[in-house]
Amino acid sequence: MSRLRRPRRYRPGHVLWGYLMIAPLGLGLSVFYLWPVVQSIAFSFTEWGAFGGQEWVGWDNYARLVGDAEFYTTLRNSVFYTAGVLLSVPLSIVIAAMLNRPGLRGRSVYQVLYFVPMVTMPVAIAIMWRWIYNGDFGVLNAVLGAVGLSGTNWISNGDTVMAAMIVVGIWSVIGYNVVILSAGLKSIPGEVYEAAALDGAGGMRQFFAITVPLVSPTTFFLTVITVMRSIQVFDLVFIMIGRMNPALPQAKTIVYLFFERTFQLNDKGYGAAIAVVLLILIMLLTLVQFALQKKVVHYA
């Protein structure tokens, strides 16, 4: 009979070493995340002068925000863009399932090609798609013209600018989603599919009855990440659309409004109020998603 090990005695030095190990991370989070949040909340109750002076104005900035029609327009644009980019999640599931078919040749090459946008600078992506969407010499209009269709200036037209942004947003994140989902698909035992096939389940039946439920934890993670990332979109509007674009009102997001008021109009107190509202919005969206987790996520 093996001897039972006696539990080790509590030593204060062990706890001290634990705190020392997490101290750099805690310091970094406090300096670069927690402190800026505290500062933004404090600044949102002040008004800044042209030379940096501050004056306490209480809830005035939030009162202005409630009555600002442009704030609601940018909020609607941000939500609409986020909802559009969320289409990348189901699309990624389909692509990942196709790439993980047995016997597929060049699987690694396809995965690398899909992942390239994730390692490309957002500025480069915005510039590249601005050329593609150009109404005079853009690739998209050239392709449409070759098949007898007429194009437009996609990012200068208020009716098409949001759709153009959503396409770029989906293209930018789909590679990351596919790689993460591919890892999730590999964790599903092959015996499950074999048993389903013996029961007469076809490919579509297996996809919706096995693949989709068993990768739902991964899908939930990607949904949360996509929402948090998309609601904060700024670079596409700033670089691909541009401040002189006539379609800017239809493309302006809440983060762009924050940038415009804070750095271009030097209204830092009002900009801080926008940032605080955005933080609350992200927290609420995340809480709603986690509240729905038990209903939509299935753990094997």
Is the confidence at residue 12, as pLDDT, over 80?
no
State the pLDDT at residue 283. Answer: 92
Interval 118-170: pLDDT, tens = 888 889 999 999 999 998 888 999 999 999 888 889 999 999 999 999 999 99
**Which residue in 271, 234, 228 sits closest to 255, CA to CA?**
234
What is the pLDDT confidence band of residue 17, given thresholds at 50, 70 and 90? confident
State the pLDDT at residue 188. Answer: 83
Is the confidence at residue 2, as pLDDT, over 70?
no
Interval 44-55: pLDDT, tens = 999 887 666 788
For range 219-239, the mean pLDDT: 93
State the pLDDT at residue 11. Answer: 66
- Secondary structure (3-state) at 84: helix
Question: pLDDT averaged over the chain?
Answer: 88
Which domains are present in the chain? 72-296 (1.10.3720.10)
Q: Cα–Cα distance between 82 and 126 in angstroms, integer? A: 17
The amino acid occupying position 251 is: A
Helix ranges, 121-267 (H): 122-133, 139-146, 161-186, 190-198, 203-206, 212-214, 216-230, 235, 248-251, 254-259
Is the confidence at residue 204, as pLDDT, over 90?
no
State the pLDDT at residue 300. Answer: 60
Is the confidence at residue 193, as pLDDT, over 90?
no
- Secondary structure (3-state) at 149: coil
**Which residue in 93, 158, 167, 159 sits closest to 129, CA to CA?**
167
Residues above pLDDT 70, as percent of the chain: 94
Q: Cα–Cα distance between 283 and 279 in angstroms, integer? A: 6
Is the confidence at residue 10, as pLDDT, over 80?
no
